[in-house]
Structure 1
């Protein structure tokens, strides 16, 4: 197990890595759940008298979301209700000067780590530890804290290089996410375990079914992955129509696997019996899968399916959720996702709801995080934890202990 911030002596100069990668609208960064979560870790560190410099990333080069972290500093300041500094540099002279000026209880946000050439290529931690990025920043600090669980599957310099050259610790988000998301591999449940799988990245979710089959008793499918399995079952659905490009490439890449899983896990897979779409009048309309023809985009599981999935949840001792069952951002097509989440919230079961988008539905529709065992802000790292795959940034933290 890794060291946590409980093991830190107070009053140190800390380099802290968080994941506040967020939506960007018209060039403006939007607040999301990740800011609030990481603010809890940062508040605790600042109250302990640490001087904190923050490393984070935003977007990828070439994309509209690849912007400066100056706006992120403002959002963090709102959450922390204290001044947050920003420097438009990551490890150059300006950054080093700003770090040198840091006082106890102060927070400084360094510029987007992905603007550094050393950051992005996926390379072994030993290679990242030798980069100029890591070798320049590390001597400026007493310790490194990784709180970026949602990026822990990435072998980038800011995530895996520093623990090899300095004392390294896990922040609160890293600690709680790792513990909760690893539960499916480490805990034993006496009753039925149900998993709801949805969202748009079927290629990430298809392997989950086989990897957790010793723990999970039944799978409730929706979203893109649900339509692809319906297509394998002979329903006229799961095809791209004009304006979409979700289905066909994933079907072509994974058809054999989908068909094999459908055959092998048939009695444990629960597929939608009805689907929802936008009717001619702009309102939600539903159709039974027995009689549908793929002429439009289906944007949610139907009401009968949602209730059937909710009933399965209520019978379960544990429920894991990855991905939304529909386009919940549009209230017309939130029924599937929200009905299942409400069933989890009202049931005394162990539950983990994972994925940034799905966790956002909890807040959007007035549900309380306290009604769930754990609400994860991770996406790719959550999937890897479910399947028992290693997380390279967690491994280097453990090795640093």
Structure 2
């Protein structure tokens, strides 16, 4: 498969029968009180795992859940159980990644067996980002690589991170893209060369957005919502009332990063908000005035301004939500903007779990106008901004080194 001038191998390029296959997937899912809340990513990656199982591979699944210290940082036993009915076979789980027990079970697998390793981020070195030369020297790669014949990179949602499990193994093992990775690259390629693009970026992952924003503002008009919007509004000098402390909690580095972005170009922020007052009442207030409550959605004037941008675009990339959509009172902005995009005639790409979930609140007939729905949010923005994707580049290197020469069936 050719993508942005490079060639990435796919699962069609290899015969997996009897091969020991390490499949890196991204089944990182929303969790609360130790329970899975959404299984959409598990369902998506199950297709890759099932195909490998039915091809007679000895399948070992590697994945992560949450970040160390986070409320959703957990083991992967629930994920393994959730995979079983989707893959159509029993799925083994080991509470280990590179230790003796994990290696023993890996070496005992028969064709068609499926094993899920525990959360790879339990290993400290998985949480670093480095150049490939360092990644291949990590204990994770050195311990596991000798026990495998093939690596399948299916974790598109983490392909923008240069971590050992994502960008290390392809330098030492024949590697191809899994079905999710392949689908993402093909789907996203449809918007990369569209000249008139606009971006709506919402949600709460502000640090990642600030990093990619300098490149995005050169690719199209950027509209913001959620905590992303509040951060850039603060960088513009807006007083956010009760939300001041929320933005300050992100840290000086993030706010200063937003200010540096604005020195390079324009980012659209809300001109009005839907706020929740201390007494629980909800009202629309103009940006810049003394807000009496916490902004929890964009207001109607903002929606109208954003709609004008959307209507002038040939492609709209939608990541995140405009407000605190967990509360139905603050969904209107997100739904209105999604509907505007879907009615515009532009190619609409929706990325990230929250934005994808928000489509369920849109009129059913309109949903058919979605051009592509991505499993990823941050990785999608990295790709759209033209930034390097270490996980994809590693697969291209592996194809050139191991597969293109005809050394593997």
Q: Closer, same or farther in 2 for the Cα pair 1:153/1:330, shift >3 Å? A: same
Q: Which whole-Å CA distance do the structure 1 matches of 2:38 and 2:120 have between them? A: 19
Match of 1:224 among 227, 244, 250: 227
Q: Which one of the candidate residues 6, 11, 31 is aligned to 1:24?
A: 31
Contact 2:50 2:86 in 1 (8 A): no
1:2 aligns with 2:5: no
One of 364, 381, 392 as aligned partner of 2:379: 381
In the other structure, the counterpart of 1:236 is: 239
Structure 2 Cα separation of the partners of residues 60 and 214 of structure 1 = 31
- Scaled by the length of structure 2, the TM-score of the pair is 0.84
Structure 1 CA distance, aligned partners of 2:245 and 2:358?
A: 27
Candidates 66, 69, 73, aligned match of 2:76: 69
Whether the aligned pair in 2 keeps the contact of 1:118 and 1:131 (CA below 8 Å) is yes
1:49 aligns with one of 43, 51, 56: 56
| Cα distance change of structure 1 residues 209 and 281 upon mapping to structure 2, 3 Å threshold | same
* Match runs of 1:178-257 below 5 Å: 178-181=185-188, 184=191, 186-189=192-195, 192-206=196-210, 208-216=212-220, 218-231=221-234, 235-237=238-240, 240-241=243-244, 245=248, 249=252, 252-254=255-257, 256-257=259-260
Checking the alignment, whether the CA contact within 8 Å between 2:236 and 2:259 is kept in structure 1 is no
Within 2, Cα distance between the matches of 1:365 and 1:333? 14
- The Cα RMSD (Å) is 2.9
Aligned partner of 1:79 among 64, 68, 86: 86
Question: SS where residue 361 of structure 1 aligns?
Answer: helix
Cα drift, residue 70 of structure 1? 0.6
Distance 1:253 1:85 in 2: 47
What secondary structure does 1:298 align onto?
A: strand
So what's the TM-score if we normalise by structure 1? 0.86
Aligned partners of 1:28, 1:77: CA distance in 2, in Å? 17
* 1:343 aligned onto 2:340: yes
Which residue of 18, 29, 37 corresponds with 2:44? 37
Matched ranges for 1:288-299 at <5 A: 288-289=286-287, 292-299=289-296
Do the aligned residues in 1 keep the contact of 2:210 with 2:254 (CA within 8 Å)? no
Give, in whole Å, the separation in 2 of the partners of 1:132 and 1:288: 54
Structure 2: distance between partners of 1:307 and 1:82: 51
Q: Secondary structure at the match of 2:23?
A: strand
- For residues 189 and 120 of structure 2, the distance between their equivalents in structure 1, rounded to whole angstroms, comes to 28
* Equivalent position of 2:402 in the other structure: none
What does 1:388-399 align with in structure 2 at a 5 Å threshold?
A: 388-399=386-397
Contact 1:149 1:173 in 2 (8 A): yes
Unaligned runs of 5+ in 1: none
In structure 2, distance between residues paired with 1:396 and 1:369 = 35
**Secondary structure of 1:96's aligned partner:** helix
CA distance in 2, matches of 1:395, 1:222: 31
Distance 2:398 2:9 in 1: 8
C-alpha contact (below 8 Å) 1:119/1:158 kept by paired residues: yes
Of 124, 146, 159, 2:153 maps to 146
Answer whether contact 1:125 1:161 (CA < 8 A) is retained: yes
1:195-239 C-alpha deviation (Å, 9 max, x unpaired): 2122234444346554244542x3323223333444555643377
Structure-2 residue corresponding to 1:171: 178
Shift of 1:45: 2.2
Deviations 1:255-292 (A, max 9, x none): 6425535xx54xxx5442321012466353212336x3
- Equivalents in 1 of 2:58, 2:368: separation in Å? 31
Q: Which runs of 5+ in 2 are unaligned?
A: 1-6, 400-409
Aligned length: 391
Please state how far the C-alpha of 1:19 moved relative to its aligned partner: 1.1
Q: Which residue of 1 aligns with 2:263?
A: 260
| Contact kept in structure 2, 1:306 and 1:335, CA below 8 Å | no
CA distance in 2, matches of 1:271, 1:169: 41
Residues 238 and 247 in structure 1, CA contact (< 8 A), matched pair in contact too:
no
Q: Is the 8 A contact 2:209 2:378 kept in 1?
A: no
Contact 2:300 2:333 in 1 (8 A): yes
Q: Answer yes or no: is the 8 Å Cα contact 1:241–1:295 preserved in 2.
A: no
Q: Distance in 2 between matches of 1:252 and 1:152?
A: 26
Tell me how far apart the structure 2 counterparts of residues 4 and 103 of structure 1 sit (CA, whole Å): 23
Pair 136,219 (structure 1): closer, same or farther in 2 beyond 3 Å: closer
